[in-house]
Amino acid sequence: MPALGWLAGRTVVELIADYDHWVAFAMLAIVSGRMLWGALHSERSRDKEIDITRGLLLITLSVATSIDALAVGLSFAFLNVNIALASPTIGAVAFVVTIIGFTLGKKASKLIGKRAEAIGGIILLAIGIRILLSHILQ
C-alpha cells in the first residue's frame, strides 16, 4: 500500500486524497459492525462463527487497515522518500507486529472468552474513527 500510495502521489493524488479517510472509516465500520452484531446476539447465532482470517472479510479488513499506509505512500511521493527502501521496511514491521498481535489475540480470547469479538469490533471502530478524525481535523 505505501508503494501504491507513492505511485498515486506521483500520478492521481487529486482523485483520492479528498475521500480516502471516508472509505477507510466505512470499511472498518462495516467489519466492526458485523463483529459487534455477532458478539451481541444469542448462542444460536454462534453456530456460524465469523472467521476474520479468511475470504472477503479478510480482504476488506486488510484494505481498510491499509488505507493509512496508502496515505503514507502519498506523503512519501511529495517528500521524495526512497520507496524501494521504505516499503519493505514498513511491510516487515507490519508483519512482525501482526504476528505478535495475532498470537496475543489468541491468548486473550481464552482469557476474555466471548467478549473478545466485541472488544475486537470496538477496537476496529476506534481505528476507523481515528483515521476519520485525523483527516478531518487537519
pLDDT tens digits, 74-128: 778 777 788 899 989 988 998 999 899 888 888 877 778 767 778 888 988 998 8
User: What is the rounded average pLDDT of the residues 125-132?
Assistant: 89
Arithmetic mean of pLDDT over the chain: 80
- Which of residues 31 and 44 earns the better pLDDT score? 31
- Residue 131: pLDDT band (50, 70, 90) is confident
CB atoms within 10 A of CB 35: 24
What are the backbone angles phi and psi of residue 49, rounded to the nearest 5°?
A: -70, 145
Q: Is the per-residue pLDDT at 43 higher than 60?
A: no
Angle CA 32–22–3, to nearest 5: 95
Cell (9 digits) for 129: 474513527
Cell 493524488 maps to which residue? Answer: 13
Angle CA 51–30–25, to nearest 5: 125
What are the backbone angles phi and psi of residue 6, rounded to the nearest 5°?
A: -60, -45
Question: Model pTM?
Answer: 0.55
Q: Per residue in 1-18, is it b (16+ CB within 10 Å) or e — as a string?
A: bbbebbebbeeeeeebee
Instruction: Supply the pLDDT for residue 129.
Output: 92
Angle of helix 83-112 relative to helix 2-11, nearest 10 degrees?
140
Cell (9 digits) for 75: 506523503
